[in-house]
Amino acid sequence: MLKTVLIVDDSEITRHALQSFFLDCNLNVITCNDGLEGVQKALEYRPVIIFLDLLMPNLNGVKMLQVIKIMDDLKHIPVVVISGNTNKRNVLAAIEAGAERVISKPLKKEIIVQVVNEILGKDFLVKNRGESKFSYKENDELTQQLRNFFLNSFPEKERGILDCFKTKNTELLKMITHEISGTGGAVGYPELTTLAREIYGRLMEPKTNWEIIELKYDEIFAIVRKMKNS
């Protein structure tokens, strides 16, 4: 029976990247996009390791960690936190909640291999994948793959964003903005994350200033056009 890895992240880009990587390592991969579902999937599939984002809807990463670490059936499962914002406070919160490791985005293949092998045993992934290490070229290819995935899916997001402007739908725009925030580092454009976080903060204000938000999204659209032409 294949060993299972659970990926809990609300970023489609990150889920896609990790799923592709672990499938290449001949592992079973289960994914979900929030902490509440993550707990349910962990109970159902009993993974050998969990990769967990910090910022998610319904139940964030720290709260999910706190939940599973008090459950007898799950508390032994090692958790690797992945985050686009690995400042000291976030790292300490994750470690205190029970994370084995905290790694930052953009994800790098050799870091994933190193962390998993340290936790699950020497050469755990090497034996499954049949390779001893990953090259810089492979990491560049991973970033480009994620960038292409992002660009292919962005037109649908853009239509959703423009529709939110027309309908003044702050809740839907929060969801789209949060996903973009978790994507910037993964695709090699951290400025996307910076802008998205600023927009999200403005969407949380009691009175939404749509004019400023639209201007900030114009900057995001310009970055995406730059990505397409690069």
Centroid of chain to Cα 83: 7
Residue 133 has what pLDDT?
A: 43
pLDDT 10s digits, 206-221 = 999 999 999 999 999 9
pLDDT 10s digits, 157-177 = 999 999 999 999 999 999 899
Residue 26 has what pLDDT?
A: 86
Residue with tokens 């809740």: 171
Residue 137 has what pLDDT?
A: 52
Burial classification of residue 86, based on how many CB atoms lie within 10 Å of its CB (0-12 exposed, 13-18 middle, 19 or more buried)? middle
Domains of the chain as residue ranges with CATH: 4-133 (3.40.50.2300), 140-229 (1.20.120.160)
Among 12, 11, 59, 54, smallest CA distance to 35 is for: 59
Residue 131 has what pLDDT?
A: 45
Among 37, 45, 38, 5, smallest CA distance to 21 is for: 5
Pairing type for strands 49-53 and 4-8 reads parallel
Contact status, residue 58 vs residue 27, Cβ threshold 8 Å: no
Residue segments in the chain with a per-residue pLDDT below the cut of 50: 127, 130-136
Contact status, residue 119 vs residue 100, Cβ threshold 8 Å: yes
